[in-house]
Amino acid sequence: MIDLAGKVAVVTGSGRGLGLAYAKALAAAGAAVVVNDIDADVAEQAVNDIEKAGGHAVAEIVGVGPTEAADRLVARAVDEFGRLDVMCTNAGILRDRTLKNMTDEDFDLVIETHLRGTFTCGRAAAARFREQGGGGRLLLVGSPAGQRGNFGQTNYAGAKAAIAAICWTWAMELARDAVTVNAVIPVALTRMAATIPALREVTEAVERGEPVPPAMRRSGFGLVEDVASLVVFLASDEAAEITGQCIGIGGDKLSLWSRPAELVQAVREGGWTPEAIAESFQPVFGSTLQGARPAGGR
């Protein structure tokens, strides 16, 4: 059994959905948890549920993004429980539009919550980890959309792709402080998944209490509780040597995402003219070009 007794975690956006599953699972494993949401009622209900199950939790009602919000979350953990060991940056919103229809506000709101919220909360947590010593865990929540794009999600996919790059960067920068940084790439049948037409019917069935079809579980679609298992593992001492990874989980499938890498290269003495590129591009690169494809999940 993985034991997180004595550890303290902050989970942003944990009043509902995946974040709530993460908070409950961390608490069930023994961690004290700061539940965060912008909705006070759902945050307090989450705290009540955790405490009724024998766990320890408090709620901090604030929208992530601003530095002040991140500082409040870290301070609440320290004031209530004496320390901070885990920061899970889960909070997010959707404003899906195709490029021609996406407004500045649609873009900015998603970037503020997902990307800036990850940055400010991660920075605040890292500062606390250094101050108290002993390392820590940064668990950044990415998405398949950030790994390979998704139609209608310029803002969301852009933010999640940046989070993957942040994961790799912070893993290098924080290694000397014994802080591990990993990105969870979740797939679960949530309210967010229900916005995908192909998943609406099965998501509604799951919400009614029906099981996820076995074939879907094998392909990587499951419940929020399935994803929470990975969060608990990465928060534990058993994951002390794992850092800088984007790890996918959903249903019955656990996966490791690759980092972008050069597929093919060509060298031309003296450099490349436009004409030389035109002459060589298809013969050299044509067979390895990567076409656009749907993300298949968020």
Specify the pLDDT at position 290.
84
pLDDT-based confidence at residue 294 (cuts at 50, 70, 90): low
Residue 298 pLDDT exceeds 60: no
The answer for residues whose C-beta is within 8 angstroms of residue 182's C-beta and 6 or more apart is 137, 138, 139, 140, 167, 171, 234, 239, 242, 243, 244, 245, 246, 247
Q: What are phi and psi of 180, to 5 degrees?
A: -95, 150
Residue 193 pLDDT exceeds 80: no
* Tens of pLDDT, residues 136-172: 999 999 999 999 999 999 999 999 999 999 999 999 9
Sign of the C-alpha dihedral, residues 286, 289, 294, 297?
positive
One-letter-per-residue 3-state SS of 26-77: HHHCCCEEEEEECCHHHHHHHHHHHHHCCCEEEEEECCCCCHHHHHHHHHHH
List residues with catalytic annotation.
Answer: 143, 156, 160
pLDDT-based confidence at residue 26 (cuts at 50, 70, 90): very high
Amino acid identity at 103: T
Distance, C-alpha 148 to centroid of its chain:
15
CA distance 116 to 130: 21
Q: Where are the beta strands (DSSP E) in 134-269?
A: 136-141, 179-186, 245-250, 253-257
Specify the pLDDT at position 291.
75
Structure tokens at 60: 């901090």
| Domains in the chain with CATH codes | 8-188+223-257 (3.40.50.720)
CA distance 13 to 295: 23
CA distance 73 to 271: 52
CA distance 128 to 83: 8
Specify the pLDDT at position 41.
98
pLDDT-based confidence at residue 207 (cuts at 50, 70, 90): confident
* Tens of pLDDT, residues 209-255: 899 999 999 999 999 999 999 999 999 999 999 999 999 999 999 99
pTM of the model: 0.93
Interaxial angle between packed helices 117-132 and 67-81, expressed in degrees from 0 to 180 and rounded to the nearest 10 = 40
Average pLDDT over residues 190-202: 79
Residue 295 pLDDT exceeds 60: no
